[in-house]
Amino acid sequence: MIQIRQVHKSYVTGQNSLHVLKGINLEIAQGEMISIMGASGSGKSTLLNILGILDDYDSGEYFLNGEFINRLSERKAAQLRNRMVGFVFQSFNLVSFKNAMENVALPLYYQNIPRKKRNLIAMEYLDRMGLTDWAHHLPNELSGGQKQRVAIARALIGNPKVILADEPTGALDSKTSLEVMDLLQEINATGITMIIVTHEHDIALRTQKTVRISDGNITEIVVNN
């Protein structure tokens, strides 16, 4: 599903260049559930952004589902992203003036699906998350766990092959974190590859493998059991 070889990435700001990823090699099979751990600033989000075709890399190779991902046009990148990837973030990234149903439906808007139809589909996904009764509520009327379930429904609605979650439980209490992890595990059990960045050991232990990143290098890959 994912093959990354010798990937390097630097951020250039003015005269300065910061070498963030220093030759990353990683293979992730379809249907795997892995966690990525590492200190703040070690390059986890940078790696996730490259995996999700939100950002380019400088050298190396990245294949996603057999497609070579490198310096794609914005249009091609968006197309592949919409078809392949769902994102979940620590801060949920919901649109504050849209209700839960409209937030879930948003990816279908970009696929030019008419409003009635996309709202119907969004309701099915909200139903799967146990949120039918909350469909017409705005994000600020939802708890953190509910917001993250809306975000997960939004990530799923495009039928992705891989879900990239950047600290999905980072803003949740421990009980809600476990509920969100249950949900991510159920989704993974349907065959969707799952990649989760986390700071928390008990979250990482619920994935099959933990990839440790330190200062832009993968230092260890541990199989959890």
Q: Does 42 bind Mg ion (CB under 5 A)?
A: no
Q: Does 45 bind Mg ion (CB under 5 A)?
A: yes
Q: Smaller CB distance to ligand ADP: residue 41 or 114?
A: 41
DSSP the chain: -EEEEEEEEEEEETTEEEEEEEEEEEEE-TT-EEEEE--TTSSHHHHHHHHTTSS--SEEEEEETTEE-SS--HHHHHHHHHHHEEEEETT----TTS-HHHHHHHHHHTTT--HHHHHHHHHHHHHHTT-GGGTTS-GGGS-HHHHHHHHHHHHHTT--SEEEEESTTTTS-HHHHHHHHHHHHHHHHTT-EEEEE-S-HHHHTTSSEEEEEETTEEEEEEE--
Q: Smaller CB distance to Mg ion: residue 107 or 168?
A: 168
Q: Smaller CB distance to Mg ion: residue 44 or 118?
A: 44
Which is nearest to 205 in space by CA: 223, 188, 220? Answer: 223
Instruction: State the minimum distance, in angstroms, from the CB of residue 45 to ligand ADP.
Output: 3
Instruction: State the minimum distance, in angstroms, from the CB of residue 193 to ligand ADP.
Output: 20
Interaction partner, residue 20 (ligand ADP, Mg ion, none; CB < 5-8 Å by kind): ligand ADP
Instruction: State the minimum distance, in angstroms, from the CB of residue 59 to ligand ADP.
Output: 17
Instruction: State the minimum distance, in angstroms, from the CB of residue 77 to ligand ADP.
Output: 17
Q: Does 198 bind Mg ion (CB under 5 A)?
A: no
Instruction: State the minimum distance, in angstroms, from the CB of residue 144 to ligand ADP.
Output: 20
Q: Does 177 bind Mg ion (CB under 5 A)?
A: no
Q: Smaller CB distance to ligand ADP: residue 40 or 225?
A: 40
| Pair type for strands 209-214 and 67-68 | unpaired
Q: Smaller CB distance to ligand ADP: residue 45 or 177?
A: 45
Residues that bind ligand ADP (CB under 6 A): 11, 13, 18, 20, 38, 40-46
Q: For binding to Mg ion (CB under 5 A), which residues are involved?
A: 44-45
